[in-house]
Amino acid sequence: MANVLKMVILWLLTFILFSLVDAVWHLLIFGQAYKEDFKPLAMVQGEKIVFRKIWGFLAQLFLVSSLIILVLMKNPASLKDSVIVGFLVGVLAITVYGFTNYSLMKDWSLRLTLLEAFWGPLLGSWGGLVVSFLYRWLFR
């Protein structure tokens, strides 16, 4: 299998596994908290929060792509290094987002801030682990 095809498979599988875990967190585990706290901030039609799918996809695309690039910079990173890099990506992308929103937005809640502060490093670590395992499976 050509290396380019392997990288495409790595990216697709990482995107799917990363996004599924993120969706479970936001929709099932803490869905009610996010719904309650986002509603005053969100675009709403009727009682439903409007989600701009293309922009949400682009956010995931940039996050997953950055995660993969940073984890694989050591080509291949150790499992421990992959998780640490993923942890830091999560802090920079998600935790900082939560803190920034809390510092700037009057209706951004402390609960959302704490959820994002916890979720960022956890999701990033999961992503680093996924990238590391998939890379080893595909390229060894």
- DSSP of 4-70, one letter per residue? HHHHHHHHHHHHHHHHHHHHIIIIIISHHHHHHHHTTTS-EETTEEP--HHHHHHHHHHHHHHHHHH
Which residues partner with 48 through β-bridges? 45
Model pLDDT, residue 1: 66
Residue 47's pLDDT band (boundaries 50, 70, 90)?
Answer: confident
Q: Read off the pLDDT of residues 91-132 as tens digits, 9 standing for 90 and up.
A: 999 999 999 999 999 999 999 999 999 999 999 999 999 999
pTM of structure: 0.91
pLDDT of residue 132: 95
Percent of the chain with pLDDT over 90: 81
